[in-house]
Amino acid sequence: MSCSEEYTPQLRARGYRMTPQRHAILHVLCHSGIHLSPTQVYQQAVKELPDITETTVYRTLEFLAENGLAYPAHMGSGHLGYQIARNDHHHLVCRNCGKEMEVDHALVKSMYQKLESASGYKLTDSHVTFFGLCSNCK
């Protein structure tokens, strides 16, 4: 199944259409497997859609994140990285060397439930980046 086939129904259900720009950006995110900066997304998307602008990439990434199709995450550089939203997960990032490790949401699910109970909030996002030192750097 292509990225468009997978995500077009989700956009249509929200009243949006699959534009060429959304398609190109989703394609980049679908095939990267990692968080990419907006600049990295632009550099790859422009190969598929030469007239796309970097501003359009930024706006589209925000749109995709707002609609649950992409996960934004602070990746330690002070900037956001984006990844396709497929499974709930989190990240551990080493503050020293930048090594990144994905963490399944099941490991922190009880913490989310405790936060909801204690705060009265309903947590709507399940994508967090934890920072520390990896085993090589500690």
pTM of the model: 0.70
pLDDT of residue 126: 63
CATH of 89-132, one of 3.40.980.20, 3.30.1490.190, 2.60.260.20, 3.30.420.40: 3.30.1490.190
- Mean pLDDT, residues 94-120: 84
pLDDT of residue 42: 97
Between 7 and 127, the more confident residue is 7
3-84: which CATH architecture? Orthogonal Bundle (1.10)
Q: What is the spatial distance between Cα 94 and Cα 21, in angstroms, rounded to a whole number?
A: 33
In terms of Cα–Cα distance, which of 29, 64, 63 is closest to 44?
A: 29
pLDDT of residue 17: 93
Q: What is the spatial distance between Cα 103 and Cα 112, in angstroms, rounded to a whole number?
A: 14
Is 47's pLDDT higher than 70? yes
Is 31's pLDDT higher than 60? yes
Query: Is-contact 67 59, C-beta < 8 A?
Result: no
Q: What is the spatial distance between Cα 10 and Cα 85, in angstroms, rounded to a whole number?
A: 12
